[in-house]
């Protein structure tokens, strides 16, 4: 009786194996290159400013510097022609004891920023998949 | 006179600005809810990650629980949900209401009250009653992992203590006990961009149980009176962050020689407009249920999160 769900599962897996067609734009291009990433970052910062969960964390932070740093970080992460010269995610966040709640809030604000910038769902998910593994370097250190 | 003049000036201006603001208010209506900028904030986890509520009260899909903790509370928050569900397969109707409380994305406590109406069975067997009720009290603990942020799937263990409140008919068909406790071992993973760049939800549950038709027909029977470990699986795709399409499969015990019990399947669509409300509609195939074959029909479930 497990046959039918097994079949459904294999169809899911087969489909996912065929996802990367050769003509698909790179994630960097899909995000609108460096300018697109900078726009998303800008919108995300505006969202931070309205978000009670995290806005206190940015008091005294040079947001212009943050914007350039985050833009370059994402740009480099998605194999764009940028050099991220900042510290590692682990080093930057060490000692602040950022919480699971705050990490979720940041992701919420990023998703919202991408929605506001009209980034398609597929592109959003591709970027989130790249960023999600940073969780272990950011939270509770 | 001057004041009147100023008022006359201000009012149209205000009207004008309200009219001008309206489109932006409309556009931002969803975003403000999503931001959860209202306080106290108790819904920091991402949309859909609290799942819907199963007919047994645990967070999950419709018939298969998931390892997720109900509501949207992150690890520094609490959360609560309330739900109402309805299934109609022609010969049977099931109504369920209940709710849950969750703590720090770690513990989920829930209660569900089920009422199964069986008019066809009553008519066929000239039974003295036309419904069976059951109360389920459950606890679930997230043991390890995170649905999204760790490589390890989210792993949970849950117990569902079930008390059948109308044991007359279940006893008549051979059920041994009017109460039982299911134990669920569950693993759930959301793979970001996992299917055609859509987020893919994969879930497997192993249920240690002797419940007949979830317990509505009692626990254990003449054919088998032992607990068994039975697999249940579900999978879904988030078309976007508001719409989840999925399917579930639940293997069932077959403890009674008088009435055959089939495995259950669903195909569902879940709508999560924001972190307060979720609506799930499903097509269900319950197979043969207490002598009535081909019990297929519709399922609707509404969940509110607090």
Which is more confidently placed, B250 or A4? Answer: B250
pLDDT number for residue B176: 98
Answer whether residue B12 shows pLDDT above 90: no
What CA–CA distances, in Å, run from A43 to A71, A114, B26, B27, B28? 12, 8, 18, 15, 14
Answer whether residue B38 shows pLDDT above 80: no
pLDDT number for residue B36: 45
Structure confidence by residue, pLDDT tens digits, A49-108: 999 999 999 999 999 999 999 999 999 999 999 999 999 999 999 999 999 999 999 999
The average pLDDT across A35-51 equals 97
pLDDT number for residue B255: 97
Q: Which pLDDT band, with edges at 50, 70 and 90, does A24 fall under?
A: confident
Query: How far apart, in whole angstroms, are the C-alpha atoms of residue B261 and residue B155?
Result: 29
What CA–CA distances, in Å, run from B292 to B89, B120, B122, B259, B267? 10, 9, 12, 9, 21
Hey, what CATH topology would domain B42-305 get? Porin (2.40.160)
Structure confidence by residue, pLDDT tens digits, B140-184: 999 999 999 999 999 999 999 999 999 999 999 999 999 999 999
A16 and B45 in contact by Cβ < 8 A? no
Chain A residues with CB under 8 Å of a chain B CB are 1-2, 4-5, 8-9, 12, 15-16, 19, 47, 50-53, 99-101, 103-105, 107-109, 111-112, 115-116, 121-123, 125-126, 128-129, 132-133, 135-136
Give the three-state DSSP class for B107: strand
Q: Which two tokens stand for residue A122?
A: 């597929």
Q: Say whether residue B152 is in contact with chain A using an 8 A CB cutoff.
A: no
Question: Of all residues in chain B, what percent carry a pLDDT higher than 70?
Answer: 86
Give the three-state DSSP class for B164: strand
Query: How far apart, in whole angstroms, are the C-alpha atoms of residue B262 and residue B86?
Result: 20
Q: How many residues does chain A have?
A: 141
Q: Return the CATH class of domain A27-138.
A: mainly alpha
- Cα angle A87, A91, A97 (rounded to 5 degrees) comes to 140
Report the mean per-residue pLDDT for chain B: 90
| Closest C-alpha to B302, from B93, B162, B97 | B97
The average pLDDT across B199-204 equals 98
| Closest C-alpha to B61, from B83, B39, B40, B33 | B83
Which is more confidently placed, A23 or B10? Answer: A23
Structure confidence by residue, pLDDT tens digits, B95-135: 999 999 999 999 999 999 999 999 999 999 899 899 999 99
Residue of A8, A15, A51 lying closest to B196 (CB–CB): A15
Q: What are phi and psi of B55, to 5 degrees?
A: -65, -10
Contacts of B148 in chain A (CB under 8 A): 132
Question: Of all residues in chain B, what percent carry a pLDDT higher than 90?
Answer: 84
Question: Of all residues in chain A, what percent carry a pLDDT higher than 90?
Answer: 83
Q: Say whether residue B192 is in contact with chain A using an 8 A CB cutoff.
A: yes
Domain boundaries, chain A: 27-138
Q: Which pLDDT band, with edges at 50, 70 and 90, does B259 fall under?
A: very high
State the SS3 of B21-66. HHHHHHHHHHHHHHHCCCCCCCCCCCCCCCCEECCCCCEECCCCEC
Angle between helices A63-77 and A121-131 (to 10 degrees): 100
Q: Where are the beta strands (DSSP E) in chain B?
A: 52-53, 59-60, 78-88, 93-103, 107-117, 131-144, 154-164, 179-195, 198-209, 228-238, 243-250, 264-271, 277-285, 296-305
pLDDT number for residue B21: 44
pLDDT number for residue A13: 56
Provide the number of CB pairs (under 8 Å) joining chain A to chain B: 105
Which residue has tokens 């639940």?
Answer: B250
CB-based contact B292:B78 (threshold 8 Å)? no
Identify the closest residue of chain A to B149 by CA–CA distance: A132
Structure confidence by residue, pLDDT tens digits, B212-235: 999 999 999 999 999 999 999 999
- Cα angle B189, B263, B57 (rounded to 5 degrees) comes to 55
Q: Which two tokens stand for residue B284?
A: 């269900």
A8 and B41 in contact by Cβ < 8 A? no
pLDDT number for residue A23: 74
Answer whether residue B86 shows pLDDT above 80: yes
Q: Which of B4-18, B48-62, B251-265 has the lowest mean pLDDT?
A: B4-18
B197 and A53 in contact by Cβ < 8 A? no
Whether this model's pTM surpasses 0.90: no
pLDDT number for residue B113: 98
CB-based contact B162:B227 (threshold 8 Å)? no
Provide the CB-side half-sphere exposure for B150 (13 A, CA).
12
A109 and B35 in contact by Cβ < 8 A? yes
Residue of B39, B45, B251 lying closest to A52 (CB–CB): B39
CB-based contact B264:B297 (threshold 8 Å)? no
Q: Which pLDDT band, with edges at 50, 70 and 90, does B28 fall under?
A: very low
pLDDT number for residue B24: 41
| Closest C-alpha to B31, from A58, A22, A110, A126 | A110
Answer whether residue B273 shows pLDDT above 50: yes
pLDDT number for residue A27: 97
């Amino acid at each position: 009786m497990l046959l039918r769900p097994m079949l459904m599962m294999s169809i899911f897996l087969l489909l996912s194996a065929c996802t990367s067609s050769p003509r698909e734009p790179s994630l960097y291009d899909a995000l609108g290159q460096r300018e697109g990433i900078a726009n998303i970052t800008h919108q995300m910062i505006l969202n931070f400013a309205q978000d009670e969960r995290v806005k206190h964390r940015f008091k005294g932070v040079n947001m212009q510097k943050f914007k350039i740093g985050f833009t370059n970080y994402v740009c480099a992460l998605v194999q764009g022609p940028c050099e991220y010269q900042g510290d590692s995610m682990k080093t930057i966040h060490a000692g602040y004891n950022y919480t699971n709640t705050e990490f979720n809030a940041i992701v919420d604000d990023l998703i919202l920023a991408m929605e506001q910038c009209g980034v398609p769902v597929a592109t959003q998910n591709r970027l989130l998949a790249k960023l999600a593994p940073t969780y272990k370097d950011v939270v509770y250190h | 006179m001057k004041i009147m003049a100023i008022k006359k000036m201000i009012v149209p201006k205000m009207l004008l600005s309200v009219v001008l603001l309206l489109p932006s208010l409309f556009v931002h209506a969803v975003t403000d809810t999503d931001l959860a900028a209202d306080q106290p904030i108790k819904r920091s986890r991402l949309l859909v990650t609290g799942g819907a509520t199963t007919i047994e009260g645990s967070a999950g899909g419709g018939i298969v629980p998931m390892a997720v903790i109900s509501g949207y509370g992150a690890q520094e928050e609490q959360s609560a949900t309330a739900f109402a569900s309805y299934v109609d397969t022609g010969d049977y109707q099931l109504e369920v209401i209940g709710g849950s409380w969750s703590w720090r994305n770690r513990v989920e406590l829930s209660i569900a009250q089920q009422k199964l109406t069986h008019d066809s069975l009553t008519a066929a067997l000239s039974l003295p009653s036309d419904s069976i009720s059951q109360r389920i009290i459950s606890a679930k603990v997230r043991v390890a992992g995170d649905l999204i942020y760790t490589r390890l799937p989210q792993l949970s263990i849950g117990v569902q203590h079930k008390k059948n409140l109308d044991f007359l008919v279940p006893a008549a068909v051979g059920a041994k006990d009017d109460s039982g406790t299911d134990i669920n071992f569950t693993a759930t993973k959301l793979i970001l961009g996992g299917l055609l760049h859509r987020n893919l939800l994969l879930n497997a549950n192993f249920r240690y149980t002797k419940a007949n038709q979830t317990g509505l027909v009692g626990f254990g029977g003449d054919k088998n009176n032992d607990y068994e470990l039975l697999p249940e699986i579900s999978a879904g795709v988030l078309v976007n962050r508001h719409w989840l399409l999925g399917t579930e499969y639940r293997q069932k015990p077959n403890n009674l020689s008088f009435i055959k019990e089939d495995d259950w399947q669903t195909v569902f669509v879940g709508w999560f407009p924001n972190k307060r409300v979720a609506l799930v509609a499903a097509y269900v195939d319950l197979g043969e249920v207490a002598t009535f074959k081909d019990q297929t029909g519709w399922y609707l479930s509404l969940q509110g999160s607090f």
